[in-house]
Amino acid sequence: MSNPLRWRTLAVATFIFVLVSGILISGAQQEITSTQQQEITGAQQEQEQNSLPSEDFRPAITPADCTYLQDPLEFRLNTKDRLIERSATTGKVAAYVYAVTAPEYTLDANAVPRKNLIDNAIFNRMAGAGIQSAPISTDAEFLRRVMLDLTGRIPSANELTAFLADPNPAKRDGLIDSLIGTPEFVDKWTMFFGDLYKNTSNASNVARGIAARDAFYTYIRDAIVNNKPYSQMASEMITATGNSTVVGQASWVVGGMIPMGPAQDIYDGEAAHFAQTFLGLSTVDCLLCHDGNRHLDAVNLWGARQTRMNMWGLSAYFSRVQLLRDATSGAYTVNDLATGDYRLNTTTGNRSARQPINGVNIVQPRNPFVVQIGTNAGNAGVMAGETRRAALARQIIPNIQFSRAIVNYIWEEMMVEALVSPSGSFDPARIDAANPPPAGWSMQATNPELLNELAIWFRDNGYDVRGLIRAIAQSSAYQLSSTYPGTWSVDYVPYYARKYARRLDAEEVHDAIIKATGIMTTYTQNTASLLPPVQWAMQLVDPREPGGNGGTVNFLNSFGRGDRDQRPRRSDGSLLQSLNMMNNGFVMTRIHQANAGSRVATILSQTQDPATIVRLLFQNTLSRNPTAEETALFVDSFRNQTVRVASENLQWVLLNKLDFLFNY
Amino acid sequence: MNPIIDRRIFFKIAATGVAGYFVSPMKVLAQTQNWTAGQATLMGTAKNVIFVLLPGAPSHVDTLDLKVGAWTPANFTPTTINGIDFPSGLLPMLSTQLAANRFSIVRSFQSSALVHNLLQMWVQIARSPTSATGKIAPNVGSIVAYELESQRTPAMKLPGFLALNGGAGLMGQGYFSGRYSPFDVAPAAGGLANLTNADGQTLFTSRYDLLNTADAALRAKGSKFGLEFEEMADYYSSARGIMYDAAVNNAFRFTAADQTKYGNNGFGNACVTARNVLMSNLGVRYIQLSLGGWDNHQNIYAANAGIYNPSRSLDTGLGNLIADLAATPGSNGATMLDETLIIAKGEFGRTVGNITSQAGRDHYFVHSALVAGGGVIGGRAVGRTTPTGSAVEDPGWSASRPAYAEDMAATIYSALGINYTKTLNNDPLGRGFEYIPSTGSYVGQPIVELFR
């Protein structure tokens, strides 16, 4: 949620078309299964694409939804432009903050303690390149940042003053521990995983329905509350069976559904869905239509060497999944059938034809992922008594790529700059520092050593999501200031030499306004939902809520909330955002003394002193103290005004200051 | 029956997006690389564009490419106007406009697939959304806004690209700066929401001034990069600029009489707003409207439902829009219709001949588009389909092949005098962003026959 490039999973278009009366290859053909990798020649590939059966009158084949870079609008590769933008945005905010807060910064590298393996990797790399880091952030900067990142909320004035006044030298670690596991923490990370798993009631490829969406939301939420190990979550989701309106994790399987095609389309859909969610490998979706050779050569080095047959081996793990739709309710039930195979016998559907290759016409489950560090646990293939999906979960979870993917997603959420970007498009051939790619290709990660060490650590520490969040938050790398008192270069960005700024997400903006002004609200969600009304936007089940309040929907959407389907979260600005912040009733009904329970009302009931009012409004809205200049400017604004009007003016101004909208 | 399209060609077309962008990672693209440098045909006859997207895909044989058969309801009142068969009963106002030579029809459009979402996106970005640059491609309207930026004057306070009732399917500015994003608003008789502050103009102004004083350092322009921050500051000043502005207010307001005349529905409101906004000349150059309800898989001829409802909205809305623009003077003696290119198009067509067992029509590649104004010579049909409407028999234009969304986009750019062969080399993928993709089995070109 912290990053404009948010799109984790494939956007699958709606597939509605007229089905050709099947001219499928059937009949008594010898069942030959694949037992080894099949290379497909260029000529075969041409033939594969062009030799189609005789057609019916109505053309019915739709092109596969092949995507190079899985994430729509996922456009910031490791290019100079992105790094420059990252630098510039951060630089502007930081420069301002530095100018107005004037903390006692010195560029003293020795003042930055190394807390854990993250710091070792980050600062060793920096030292090796001769790059100075930014100093550690001030307490106020850190408090606001960590509260936003961990709980999606800004600090209140009381939280600020208490933290600033706390003399305990270990107070930052204490703060982190106190935030993890709170209800707000649960809300924020439920939203994060809801985004990652694309939990929505109505997507372009499948209508999960409200009940199944809610069940999935509850499943995710419970997992966060109980800090369920990520390996267990993944296993439960990959192997889920049951009624998706009851068994929340089955709802994940529903998300891979591909309608209006042969069963193999569904198996491929699940494989692509799985690869995106749990491995960050969007190229699998490309490879399920064609070989990497001649398609991905300029895009993904690993993918360029893969064949469609390899990926069919992955799809075969899903070849006994049944997604049964209830005709009345529309809800899906997920089952594992006792039999079923991945057959190469399609000519219609959402992907190009699947026809026997080198005599192979049934593809057995075969794990195509061999790039790893450490051991690949267990037997490849399916063991006796094990369902195919269970076999896949068993093999994949210990694979280091599984850990890399989630580590990278969470790192990106907190550090803004991902280790591998786009985070859904890993290139396994460019990840391992021990096996660097050939000339012309760069290593994909900003810090390959860190990525792998952190992934190994995550795996060896019980796939503990809270542990990972804690480790990142505790690191000095995370706690660096966004101010860089030296001469910044855009080349420093991959070294994380400073903390990067990001605009607040839509829900964070909304909730910051509520918390700053103290006026709560209640939203009912979709009428079909049995979930209770909520008070914070971060509690909404999906980005199309609240069903009961169109105005709030528009307000949130104007901040680029996306829809967890075709439209990713964005953090660019818009005219509507500015009009909303300045004039929307949501803001305007919270800034007056006459608005019952407002911050202005509360403050004015305690004091009429301009300097105090200025300080309290700053602390509540911007979560920092005003500088001497700011105090002077705003105290001056109280002249020739009633205290009430001046206070209301100030509240409005602070909500519309640009640093209100950014996490720096 | 012959297939309407050779499957081999189909897959080549469908695969275009995948195979088309094959750039070695080490290759450095030239700064200005126009793939048909010097060969672009720029008509330069239009100043504005109104693009009406018809999501759901209207049945072409029941509307713009009428094919009369046993299935045709009597109340369609098939009429031949200028040699064009037209359902005057279904689209009365538009038939009047056709008789007055106010619009023409391109009957040889074709889509590359039959998937709603995919093709609706395709039409708006003029390339397959699944292609590499499809992921970053801006809406045609954003490119227009970007290209016409230099023509803006300080009085032009509205963004160049306006979307009315854009909805979830609206494509945005892709990798372009947010400056070229569609200003997506809901038309309402009372005007645009949030253009005034509840505490009054005086108080608002003083607050805004105080804000700028307090935030001066943060809002100042410094580095030429820094998109997120500078954009935000820019939006604030643009937003301030359109507040409390009588011209802006009036541009978005419409009278009860107009609302009724235009059909008293969302689409009609959008049409009248489009007219008013263009007449206000406040900087909007590309307006995207949207009218759905065409996905008539079932009961297409059901009374007061089926194809009748969207047709009624289209007829009253678009028909009046064309008529009003034709009656409004533009500049230099031309009418506003002369200066405004209007296109109404769905993402594909619907099955032909007899209706299905569900009493409807399903998806189909062949379709038509309505094209008016902006230098288009009205009252004609470009291209012809077979007697049933099942295939393009005569493409009717210089490319000698069916027309695609890319050709429509090239037509728009050409009409506005924008070089559609342009490639920008500032895209984040480093591949070069072509306004019209140049690789693949067809390359988009303007349908100049419309203008001659």
Q: What's the pLDDT tens digit per position in B150-162?
A: 999 999 999 999 9
Better pLDDT: B285 or B35: B285
Counting DSSP H helices and E strands in chain B, the numbers are 13, 16
Q: What is the mean pLDDT of residues A234-255?
A: 97
Contact A379, A301 (CB under 8 A): no
pLDDT score of A288 more than 60:
yes
The answer to whether the CB atoms of B135 and A72 lie below 8 A apart is yes
Whether B209 and chain A come into contact, CB under 8 Å, resolves to: no
Other Cβ atoms less than 10 A from the Cβ of B26: the count is 9
Phi, then psi, of A193 in degrees rounded to 5 = -70, -30
Q: What is the mean pLDDT of residues B236-240?
A: 91
Is A46 strand, coil or helix? helix
Contact A266, A319 (CB under 8 A): no
Whether A637 and chain B come into contact, CB under 8 Å, resolves to: yes
pLDDT score of B232 more than 90:
no
Instruction: Look up residue B377 and give its DSSP letter.
Output: P
A27: Cβ–Cβ under 8 A, 6 or more apart, which residues? none
- List the structure tokens of A572: 């660019």
Distance CA B214, CA B216 (A): 6
Q: Which residue of A has its CA nearest to B229?
A: A89
Task: Give strand ranges (E) for A105-262.
Answer: 242-243
Whether B168 and chain A come into contact, CB under 8 Å, resolves to: yes
Distance CA B188, CA B273 (A): 8
- Vertex B105: Cα angle to B102 and B111 (nearest 5): 145
Other Cβ atoms less than 10 A from the Cβ of A472: the count is 23
Q: Which residue of B has its CA nearest to A99?
A: B217
pLDDT score of A121 more than 50:
yes
Give residue A348's pLDDT: 81
CB half-sphere exposure, B296, CA atoms < 13 A: 30
pLDDT score of B115 more than 80:
no
Find the DSSP H helices in A226-354.
230-238, 250-254, 263-274, 283-287, 301-304, 308-315
Q: What is the pLDDT of residues B198-224, one digit of tens each?
A: 999 999 999 999 999 998 877 766 432
Give residue A346's pLDDT: 93
Instruction: Look up residue A161 and give its DSSP letter.
Output: H
Is B396 strand, coil or helix? coil
Contact A545, A199 (CB under 8 A): no
Better pLDDT: A452 or A384: A452
Distance CA A306, CA A634 (A): 63
Chain B CB contacts of A92 under 8 Å are: 218, 222-223, 226, 229-230
pLDDT score of B68 more than 60:
yes
Would you place residue A101 in the very low, low, confident or very high pLDDT band (cuts 50, 70, 90)? very low
Q: Taking the mean position of all CA atoms in its chain, how far away is CA A220?
A: 14
| Top-confidence range, A148-162, A566-580, B204-218 | A148-162
Contact B354, B346 (CB under 8 A): no
Give residue A93's pLDDT: 64
ipTM exceeding 0.90, yes/no: no
Would you place residue A181 in the very low, low, confident or very high pLDDT band (cuts 50, 70, 90)? very high
Q: What is the mean pLDDT of residues A622-651?
A: 96
Whether B222 and chain A come into contact, CB under 8 Å, resolves to: yes
Find tokens 């062949």 and name the residue.
B366
A176: Cβ–Cβ under 8 A, 6 or more apart, which residues? A146, A150, A470, A473, A474
Give residue A86's pLDDT: 67
- List the structure tokens of A582: 């300045």
pLDDT score of A309 more than 70:
yes
pLDDT over 70 percentage in chain B = 88
pTM: 0.83
Chain A CB contacts of B219 under 8 Å are: 658
Rounded to the nearest angstrom, the minimum Cα separation between A529 and chain B is 22
Give residue A73's pLDDT: 29
Would you place residue A318 in the very low, low, confident or very high pLDDT band (cuts 50, 70, 90)? very high
Alpha-carbon distance values, A86 to A225, A424, A647, B236 (Å)? 33, 19, 35, 21
CB contacts < 8 A, A to B, total 254
Find the DSSP H helices in B253-343.
256-261, 266-280, 308-327, 336-339
Whether A456 and chain B come into contact, CB under 8 Å, resolves to: no
Q: What is the mean pLDDT of residues A283-293?
A: 88
Rounded to the nearest angstrom, the minimum Cα separation between A333 and chain B is 26
Q: What is the pLDDT of residues A465-501, one digit of tens each?
A: 999 999 999 999 999 998 887 788 888 989 999 999 8
A471: Cβ–Cβ under 8 A, 6 or more apart, which residues? A116, A117, A118, A454, A457
Would you place residue A82 in the very low, low, confident or very high pLDDT band (cuts 50, 70, 90)? low
The answer to whether the CB atoms of A583 and B222 lie below 8 A apart is no
Q: Of the ranges A315-319, B21-25, B115-119, which one carries the lowest mean pLDDT score?
A: B21-25
Query: What's the whole-number average pLDDT of chain B?
Result: 87
pLDDT score of A293 more than 60:
yes
pLDDT score of A521 more than 60:
yes
Give residue A46's pLDDT: 33
The answer to whether the CB atoms of A85 and B430 lie below 8 A apart is no
Better pLDDT: A57 or B178: B178
Is B106 strand, coil or helix? strand
Which chain A residues in 65-94 lie under 8 Å from chain B, judged by CB atoms?
Answer: 65-69, 71-77, 79, 81-82, 84-85, 87-89, 91-93
pLDDT over 70 percentage in chain A = 82
Rounded to the nearest angstrom, the minimum Cα separation between A142 and chain B is 20
Contact A207, A565 (CB under 8 A): no
Query: What's the whole-number average pLDDT of chain A?
Result: 84
Which run of H or of E encompasses B241?
A: helix B227-242
The answer to whether the CB atoms of B11 and A662 lie below 8 A apart is no
Better pLDDT: B176 or B160: B160
- List the structure tokens of A35: 């037992």
Q: What is the mean pLDDT of residues B55-76?
A: 96
Q: How far apart are the first and last CA of chain B?
A: 36
- Vertex B258: Cα angle to B254 and B260 (nearest 5): 120
Whether B201 and chain A come into contact, CB under 8 Å, resolves to: no
Is B411 strand, coil or helix? helix
